Every structure is written in C-alpha cells, then in structure tokens.
Amino acid sequence: MPPGIFNVMKKWFTIILLIGIISCRHDPSGTEKGMITVSIAPYKYFIEEIAGDDFTVNIMVPPGSNPHIYEPYPEQISKLRRSEAYISNGFLGFEETWLDRFYEINKTMIKISLGNKINLITLGHQHEDGHEEGADPHYWVSPKCAKIMASSVKDLLCSLNPAQKQKYESNYNILFSKITGIDSMATSLFQGDKGRSFMIYHPNLGYLARDYGLVEVPVEYEGKEPPPSRLKELIDLAREENISTIFVQKEYDSRNARAIATEIGATITVIDPLSEKWLTTTEEIITELHKSFTEN
C-alpha cells in the first residue's frame, strides 16, 4: 500500500475514533451504557430501581460529604462531560456555586431538577458559608415527595432510552408500590403523634415532619451554629416537650447536639439521609423517629 494512502487511512481512522469517544451518547442497542450525573447519592437509587443497570450513575456529592459546601473532583467532572443528563436537587448550596458551571461544561446533556414539582418549604436564611437558601432542599427524605421524584426520573429515563420504555414503566410501578408502602407505614406510625416535636441538629427532616404532622426543631440557628442563648432555649424546650432523642446527620459536627443531650439526659441518634440505599434508610429514619416518641 502506498505510504500516502496509508497516511490518509490512518488520519480518517483517528478522526472516527475521536468522534466515537466524544459523542458518548446512549447506545439504543444496549451494548454501551449511557451515563447520568446526579447531585446526591439517593437519586442513584431511583435510577437503578427503574432502569436497572442500563445507565452508569455519576454522583457529585458522595455519601459522607456535606452537599451545601462540596466541591467536585476532576474525575467527577470528567464523567460529567460524558453524561447524557444531569439530575439536580435545585436548592443545595453547592449547586448554587457549581450548577451553571456544570451546564457550561456539558451543554448538550438533558437537565432536570427534581425540586420543580415538589411543594417546597421556603426558608430564606443564610448558612455559615454565606449562601442564602431559598427553599428547604431535603425533600427526598419524605415518601410523599419521593413519589413525585420517581415519576420525574421515570419520564427522563424513557426519553433517554425509548426502546426500554415498557421496562421502565413496569419497574416504576414496582418502585411506586414500595414507596407507597413506606408512606403507609409512616402514616400509621405517626397517627398518634400529630403535633409532637423532635429535635435534630441540621434540619433535614422538614418535609417528613410537614407531611406527617410533626414539628421539627433544629439545633442550627438560621443555618449557623447556635449562640448560647439559643442553646438555652433548646434545652428548655426539650425539657418542656419531653424530648429524649436528638437526631444528627452523620456529615455534621454533633458537639452542640451532644451538649444539649447531656444537659437533658437525651440520647443521640445518627441518621444517614444521604445514603444510596434510599428505601432502607428512609424506613430506618421513620422507625427511629417514631421510637423517639414512644420512649418519652
């Protein structure tokens, strides 16, 4: 083969290879997985329950990290570039800093915010890092909100891979039944606890409280460490409400919560709402919350 023709063929082979690497879109034949990036780990659960292993999921804020101040690693950004879609929360602190940048990095990926269809709890306070939070972002912990989230994820997956729509619809129905089961469990457990208060360091159970008639009392004060005057108020309230358990998300410093617990003789219960195992974790949170009322 003449050298000139060999060089031309080599050049075209390189171009074709690069096009294949850059395109990275979902393969309808199912021989290559598409990638979806999500803001937090619980969203991975909904994707996998509906789509099985059809997609690879890139989690921006891994379990154990604080989603209000997290900064992504280069490997996560590399996966973001190859993603077909981004599923955001819409109200987490790190998203306010990074989300527009993510969209600039990958302008062709589909973008959805699971918070768009949720009846949100408005806040309007500042965190210690200075950002203002307009709405409570922790809606995924409530089974009632999870039903809405599951529907949004199902619609996205069907649009990304229409050939598997029937499979996704079927799996969604199964998932919806699981969520309904936890919803029914929570409704039954909290039926006699309407208006009861529970104390938690970082207020990540607000939607759970709202949807089942409970009152969340955060140790944090307007997103910051509580001043001594607030700590005294919390101690007095805990005694008045006969609160015997203080909940702490494992990503947060529990010193102030433990100080209150020591003062009133309460126990500390660590919860993990950022776990990838949404169903198991949510059931555990509901169970522990109900248990805290029965121990009073």
What confidence score (pLDDT) does residue 65 get?
84
Per DSSP, the residues of 162-229 read: GGGHHHHHHHHHHHHHHHHHHHHHHHHHTTT-TT-EEEESS---HHHHHHTT-EEEESSBTTBPPPHH
The residue to which tokens 């979902």 are assigned: 26
Closest CA to 121 of 203, 230, 39: 203
> Do strands 85-88 and 110-113 pair parallel, antiparallel, or not at all (unpaired)?
parallel
Structure token digits, residue 246: 């203080």
In sequence order, which residues have a C-beta less than 8 Å from that of residue 16 and are 6 or more positions away? none
Q: For residue 57, what are the β-bridge partners?
A: 36
What confidence score (pLDDT) does residue 224 get?
80
Coil, helix or strand for 122? Answer: strand
What confidence score (pLDDT) does residue 209 get?
98
Chunked into runs of 10 residues, the chain (296 residues) has average pLDDT values of 45 37 44 89 98 97 84 95 97 93 97 97 61 80 98 98 98 98 98 96 95 96 84 94 93 83 93 96 97 85
What confidence score (pLDDT) does residue 64 get?
78
Is the dihedral angle over the CA atoms 38, 214, 200, 295 positive or is it negative?
A: negative
Per DSSP, the residues of 185-202 read: HHHHHTTT-TT-EEEESS
Quick: pLDDT tens for 139-165. Answer: 999 999 999 999 999 999 999 999 999
Rounded CA-CA distance 6/2 in Å is 6
> Do strands 55-61 and 85-88 pair parallel, antiparallel, or not at all (unpaired)?
unpaired
Is the dihedral angle over the CA atoms 155, 160, 162, 163 positive or is it negative?
A: negative
Structure token digits, residue 268: 């500390």
Rounded CA-CA distance 87/276 in Å is 15
What confidence score (pLDDT) does residue 124 get?
61
Structure token digits, residue 113: 């915010």
Structure token digits, residue 261: 């617990």
Quick: pLDDT tens for 40-76. Answer: 999 999 999 999 999 999 999 987 788 888 899 999 9
Residue 93 sits at φ, ψ, to 5 deg, of: -60, -45
In sequence order, which residues have a C-beta less than 8 Å from that of residue 220 and are 6 or more positions away? 201, 202, 203, 226
Rounded CA-CA distance 126/282 in Å is 27
In sequence order, which residues have a C-beta less than 8 Å from that of residue 130 and are 6 or more positions away? none
What confidence score (pLDDT) does residue 11 get?
43
**DSSP H or E run through 79:** helix 74-81
Show the domains of the chain with their CATH numbers. Answer: 22-185 (3.40.50.1980), 191-294 (3.40.50.1980)
